[in-house]
Chains A and B, each alone.
Chain A
Amino acid sequence: MTSQVFQILLALADAPRHGYAIITDVEARTGGEIRLTASTLYDALARLLDQRLITELEAPPAAATDHDARRRYYALADAGRDAVRDEAARLERMLAMARAKNLAPRRR
């Protein structure tokens, strides 16, 4: 799983979001380290939809504040949630290995 896809799935973990909201969420959370463009985002979203890791909502969620009738919202599917968990666990294992070799800071 690429870090972009991981971040997109993370962005959908709390609530369904539309495309632009995903871009701004990822950018804010990573401190600008990952800046998605519309094409990279939707390329990833298309793949995630095909893999059924996310779903597209029929109607905007009730809690959506910046309501624009044209926007479509995406939510994390159960399979997607599992995939994020697996990836996080994998990253955790990697980090542990790096720590064992003193290549990553110890957990505080």
Chain B
Amino acid sequence: MAFYRALLYLLPARERARHGEQMAIAFASLERRAGVFARVWLWLREVAGLLRFAARTRLGGWRAPGFGSGSEFRWAWRGVRARGWRGVMSVVLLALAIGGNAVVFSAADSFVLERTLYPEAERLVQVGRTGAFAWGASHALESIPAWRSFTDLFSAVYAYRWQASWYVTSGQGPRFVPAVAVEPGLLDLLGARPVAGRLFVRGDEHADPATLCVIAEDLAIEQFGSAQNALDQTITLSLGDVHARVVGVVSTGFRFDTGDVRVWTPFDPTVPLPYGGATLVFQMAAGQSRDAVENAVRAREDSVPQGASASYKRLKPLAPLDVRPLSPTEERIEQLFTLLVAASGCLLFIACANVLHLEWTHSLSRMRSHAIALALGATRGSLVRGALIEGLIMTSAAGAAGASLGALGLHLLRTELPNKLIVALTNPLDFDIRTLAFMVAVVGIAWLITSLPLAIVCSRRSVLSSLQLEGRSASGSRAGRWIRSGLTVGEMAATTGLLVGALLAGRSYTTLLGTPKGFDTYGVGVVSVTQRPGAAEKPKDLGPRILSSLRARPDVRYAAAAQGVPPSSGGGINGNLRVVGRDEPLGLVTVNSYGVDSQFFSAMRLPIVDGHAFSDSDQPEAVVIDEELAKKYWPGSSPVGDRITFGNPRFFRGTGVYEVVGVAKHMRTNYDPAVGTSEDTFALYYRLADDAALTFVLRFTDPSRLDDALAMVRTLATGDRVTGELITDRYAAMFSNEMIAASIMSVFSGLAFVVAIAGLYAVMAFLVASRTREIGIRVALGADRARIQRLVMGGSLALVATGAAIGGVAAFVGARWASSLLIGVSTTEPWTYAAVIGSVTIAALLATWQPARAAAAVDPTILLRD
């Protein structure tokens, strides 16, 4: 809607004030009910309508001097139509470039450039450290007063705490939404504005914690029809049937930390928590820098109570405290977008270069028509104005088509990107109007560079000399040849660079996807059930009921219950690994534990390399450990039969002493680096006995059977939330960055390739056409046809080879810089470059073939007679 609101500035201020808001509301309603293609059509009609509205209200009865007769419009329109397929191609090329750039820049804006829309976002930070699993900003509640006492560093400190995904029940039925408990004042600090009601005020947190809530506008509309209607309504939250009264509604555009939070409840940090701590948001005092604050908090760390991390500290020294922006950008994402921006820039350059070529091929006939216009009494001014109007028509057409393509592309991006990336955005992925304006300006300037000089040159020549022009147009001059050659070389270089990038990114992605997972992923599906609030059936009854129905299906080979499914963590703990009976601990390890039943290893086809998988005769304390753990701490011997502890008396159940009954092949998880295996985090499988797991790992005869099984589970768990996915998709989600890089680079390089080759064809055809007379004379003087063909092909080949070589070198440098994005492939492997340069050259030769044949077919007798 930001784009729409920006378009409203076309209207005069008075009309905007009178109707702007109403138009935006009505348009939003229309847009909501339209499908993807209907939406593109709606946008086109809306923009056309807005232009009409603006023209009527801004221009009224006024007509620009000199434009009154309409003759320039007619000339311009005739000029546009005279372009024929060239005009259509120019518009399509420019629209592709504008649309592609709009998508990339809008995404770059959300992902990298402007991560948050919070007021004074540069002062908002989090203080935390890298822990066993990831960077964390959670602090013990007792530390909050100490942090607040550092008034020289921080002007405000607020706490919040994640709630589990909550079930919201109201008029429109239950729905899961993530919820966060926030201290009063935090939402104000982050710039939330209520569209109805109010935000939290001091004192709200002392009421029963979950009796009040603030919700997001889209949830309010979904559940109650409108923001106003939601006020004072009660929603039921969570599995505990907590009733909360809605005191305020914030606009949908407001994003809290991660974007999918829809419910906020008040948080009281003075009430002790059953476990864990709270996440803190700090506003740095005015004038403080992140580095200065970081040094100061490291120096004062000891005066801050540490809660649970104090006990962890005894095992392993803590990493130093860091100060990070509230919504930091990953370096890899930043690099990725720098690459994409470069790629889209290349595409824009190629498109503009092609439009220049196309315009120049047309320039001869344009000069004639300019000359005729002058002969018919047009003034020099009207000629230039006509050229400007022509440019305006073409640029507007390209801009409108590009905006529609961009809107479509962004829609696809929003729906196709992994959800975890989209919800993590605090600056929503919207069409960036600045990008569109910039691209249209670039295209407009490119246009001016081509067409305006022509009109000016024509207006200075005598009519006769313009009409006599043949074979030696402005574009046939030496300067013209240089510019044309330069553009062709540049296009070929950009195309080669993009193709190499796409090939490397694609290979990196497929390499990552193909990394062995340790088990046979084909046909493995995961189905999870989350029960609705107040469900009568206990999980320990529901779980076995679903499991036995799944096992009875002919399309399910194995079905296992599990707590935790890879690649995500099953639940972890750090501890000193000891073998009972040995004095020295083996080492500090992080255990990533999965609770599984006896069919799990069969369902996953995860081989047991030593000992055996679980059987019913095993003790509850039986565990199966990962091959990598066995290799590291039992080198050359077998751990099977050993009894182990993790220093901690107990963590998942039992006495805390576990008997190793088997060793499973290494299974890839999130803890493994992209290449290789983790050195200190290991999977460990314990037996699910009467644990009530509602997650099921299924091996299907065919992966397409997943939907059918899901439908069955839904009938067994009516009203509960049932989700399912293939395990290959779970692993693919780990490599979403690589997926985006590979897919966008492929699209861009494919477009660039087609556009550049088409452009080369147009240039060569034009060159042959403009040299017809010269070629005819050569033939008349005895040059044979093969030689003529070689001449044309050689000229093209020189340009293409130079461009491809430059592009290859540029790609090599770029790939070195982006090597962290290109995991698992060598950036120096020569065949990648050879393959791309080879295919660009072959395609270019094919594109030159027809013009070369045309040149060889020139008949000197006909030519000289003409």
Contacts and interface: CB of A to CB of B under 8 A. Distances in A.
Interface of A: 18-20, 23, 35, 37-43, 45-46, 49, 66-72
Contacts of A40: 45, 49, 52-53
What DSSP secondary structure best describes chain A's contact surface?
Answer: helix
Contact of A39 (B21, B46, B196, B228): B46
B23 interface: yes
A21 to B, nearest CB: 9
A25 B56 CA distance: 26
A38 B26 contact: yes
B865 interface: no
20 contacts: A19-B22, A20-B26, A20-B29, A35-B45, A37-B30, A37-B42, A38-B30, A39-B46, A39-B48, A39-B49, A39-B50, A40-B45, A42-B22, A43-B57, A46-B19, A67-B229, A68-B25, A70-B21, A70-B25, A71-B22
B229 to A, nearest CB: 8
B49 A68 contact: no
Given A37-B49, A43-B49, A66 B23 contact: no
Interface residues of B, number: 29
A67 B226 contact: yes
Contacts of B57: 43, 46
B475 to A, nearest CB: 41
What DSSP secondary structure best describes chain B's contact surface?
Answer: helix
Interface of B: 15, 18-19, 21-27, 29-30, 42, 45-50, 52-53, 56-57, 196, 225-229
Most chain-B CB neighbours within 10 Å: which of A23, A38, A40, A41?
A38
A47 to B, nearest CB: 8
Contacts of A71: 22, 25
Contacts of A42: 19, 22-23, 26, 53
A69 to B, nearest CB: 6
A66 B227 CA distance: 12
A18 B23 CA distance: 11
Nearest to B18: A46
Contacts, number: 74
B228 A67 contact: yes
B59 to A, nearest CB: 13
Given A46-B18, A68-B228, A37 B45 contact: yes
A29 B27 CA distance: 20
Given A42-B26, A43-B53, 13 more contacts: A18-B22, A19-B22, A19-B23, A38-B23, A39-B48, A39-B49, A39-B52, A39-B53, A40-B53, A46-B19, A67-B226, A68-B227, A69-B228
Contact of B19 (A23, A45, A66): A45
Contact of A41 (B18, B24, B26, B225): B26
Given A43-B53, A46-B57, A37 B22 contact: no
Contact of B22 (A35, A66, A72): A72
B23 A39 contact: yes
A42 B30 CA distance: 14
A71 B28 CA distance: 12
A20 B49 contact: no
B47 to A, nearest CB: 8
A49 B27 CA distance: 20
Contacts of A68: 25, 226-228
B253 to A, nearest CB: 15
Contact of B27 (A37, A45, A67): A37
B373 to A, nearest CB: 35
A37 B57 CA distance: 17
Given A37-B49, A39-B46, A23 B25 contact: no
